[in-house]
Structure 1
Amino acid sequence: MGRLTEDPAFRATTFVVIDFETTTPTGYPAQPIEVAALALRCLDGVWRETGRSTSLIRPPAFAPVTPADTAQTGLTAEQLEAAPAPAEALGALDRRLTAGTPYLLVAQHAATEAGIIHHQAEHCPTLARTDFLDTIPLAKRLIPNLPNYKLDTLLAHFGIPQPPDRHRALADVEVTAKVFLRLISAADEDPRLGGLAALVKVAGRTAKHNLPVQSGLFDM
């Protein structure tokens, strides 16, 4: 193992790869219809899965599943009718995070997942205050000159097979986790990434709920 994975802060952190499938109603932010998460920890130089979770989510009435959503994910309105509401599904995921444990969420294009969590923060307050690592800027640092940094491109680069249910949350989490581990392996050999702080500087994204609140210009 290299300098990054020998860093005590890195070893103390649980990395939670997360992905949402959504429907995007006009005039509203994206609404989750499925979530999956996979927790990973580097223990004694070996990556171990420490938990996983997946759930369908019933969207609100103003955000019905469209034919385009079904074409993308395979999920239908009928499948989601009996699914738990966001409060139940995201609350259950939130409660799996242990108080006092350092976490980082990991996502491909983390801005998307960060935005969904921010808008659902009342249901998942712990998730909403958990910062992110984004695989895209990390891949750009470690693998320059790819034609793009979409997930499918990174899968092809690393020779990771496309899952048959690509664009379902759990399948996407599992392959994103594989990409993340390949990137960490490369980062471990990069002298510029000698610890968790350096990794966060390159690929970190602060959760919106952790950003300072700016007072209005004329607030007294």
Structure 2
Amino acid sequence: MGGLTDDVAFRATTFVVIDFEATTPTGYPSQPIEVAVLALRYGDGGWQETGRRTSLIRPPEFAPVTPAVTAQTGLTAEHLRTAPTPAEALGALDRRFRGDASYLLVAQHAATEANIIYNQREHCPTLARIDLLDTIPLAKDCVPGLVNYRLDTLLAHFAIGHPADRHRAAADVDVTAQVFLQLIALAQDSGRVESLADLVKLAGRTAKCNTPIQDELFALPTETGGATTEPA
């Protein structure tokens, strides 16, 4: 095909589509209750799936499964009672990532996944340092003029079947991956995205763990008239 899919960096990257389901307790960040990933790599034979994983996650006591969460996902407190803890589930996922490989996470509205990963970074330090691609800005560039860019709208546009278990992590990862591949094909055909660097510039999101911290927030104490003044 040439262009994007001939780019050496693009071919060296494993694109890991990721989705969390979560509960949102008052006064706390969202707590994951399910995670799914699907890894894809492009080579001479086209796209290949290189791995997938799904796990329920037992939320902490301060983040119980609410009726609204059950109505959306079908998951109940009983489903999660014996599920792995965040440390167990995300630790096992984290060990799937090799330190010598190139990855990008792919998500629909990637800010949601980025925030959950950052807040759980102690359990998944490798995952927390992987940058992301957001399908929404990519879709806005490739398919301008849609009424909105929600996942269901993109599924309808690309005639991708609506899964019966929509809002479960594994189902959402599968259809997000299908959308992503459609968008990559459009980006390739447009000729405006010719490399992984172009793709990242268009739809990339830096992982929070990779965002530089402002030095002035942690300035060293200054001396005033022989006395040491601590930062406020």
TM over 0.5: yes
- TM norm structure 1: 0.98
SS at match of 2:32: strand
Q: Report the alpha carbon displacement of residue 192 of structure 1 after superposing the two structures with TM.
A: 1.6
Are the aligned partners of 1:5 and 1:45 in contact in 2 as well (CA < 8 Å)?
no
Matches of 1:200 and 1:217, distance apart in 2: 29
* 1:46-195 to 2 correspondences below 5 Å: 46-195=46-195
Structure 1 residues 213 and 154, CA gap change in structure 2 (3 angstroms)? same
Matches of 1:84 and 1:217, distance apart in 2: 37
Q: Could you tell me which amino acid in structure 2 is paired with residue 44 of structure 1?
A: D
Q: Report the alpha carbon displacement of residue 216 of structure 1 after superposing the two structures with TM.
A: 2.8
Matches of 1:40 and 1:191, distance apart in 2: 22
* 1:192-203 to 2 correspondences below 5 Å: 192-203=192-203
Larger Rg: 2
Q: Could you tell me which amino acid in structure 2 is paired with residue 176 of structure 1?
A: T
SS at match of 2:215: coil
Q: Report the alpha carbon displacement of residue 2 of structure 1 after superposing the two structures with TM.
A: 3.1
- TM norm structure 2: 0.93
Aligned-pair Cα RMSD in Å:
0.9
Are the aligned partners of 1:2 and 1:189 in contact in 2 as well (CA < 8 Å)?
no
Structure 1 residues 218 and 110, CA gap change in structure 2 (3 angstroms)? closer
The list of structure 1 runs, each at least 4 consecutive aligned residues, that deviate by more than 6 angstroms after superposition, is: none
Matches of 2:55 and 2:2, distance apart in 1: 36
SS at match of 2:165: coil
1:108-137 deviation per Cα after TM superposition (whole angstroms, max 9, x unaligned):
000000000000000000110000000000
Name the residue aligned to 1:26.
26
**Structure 2 unaligned runs (5+)?**
221-232
Percent identity reads: 72
Are the aligned partners of 1:133 and 1:203 in contact in 2 as well (CA < 8 Å)?
yes
Q: Could you tell me which amino acid in structure 2 is paired with residue 174 of structure 1?
A: D
* 1:205-216 to 2 correspondences below 5 Å: 205-216=205-216
Q: Could you tell me which amino acid in structure 1 is paired with residue 210 of structure 2?
A: N
**Structure 1 unaligned runs (5+)?**
none
Q: Could you tell me which amino acid in structure 2 is paired with residue 134 of structure 1?
A: D
Q: Report the alpha carbon displacement of residue 218 of structure 1 after superposing the two structures with TM.
A: 7.6
Matches of 1:49 and 1:97, distance apart in 2: 15
Name the residue aligned to 1:14.
14
1:178-212 deviation per Cα after TM superposition (whole angstroms, max 9, x unaligned):
00000000011122200000000000000000011
Q: Could you tell me which amino acid in structure 2 is paired with residue 207 of structure 1?
A: A
Matches of 2:2 and 2:105, distance apart in 1: 22
Specify which structure has the bigger relative contact order, considering alpha-carbon pairs within 8 angstroms and separated by 6 or more residues: 1
1:136-167 deviation per Cα after TM superposition (whole angstroms, max 9, x unaligned):
00000010000000000000000000000000
Name the residue aligned to 2:230.
none
Matches of 1:11 and 1:173, distance apart in 2: 21
Matches of 1:125 and 1:179, distance apart in 2: 28
Matches of 1:30 and 1:68, distance apart in 2: 14
Q: Could you tell me which amino acid in structure 1 is paired with residue 202 of structure 2?
A: V
Q: Report the alpha carbon displacement of residue 217 of structure 1 after superposing the two structures with TM.
A: 5.2
Matches of 1:217 and 1:153, distance apart in 2: 42
Name the residue aligned to 2:36.
36
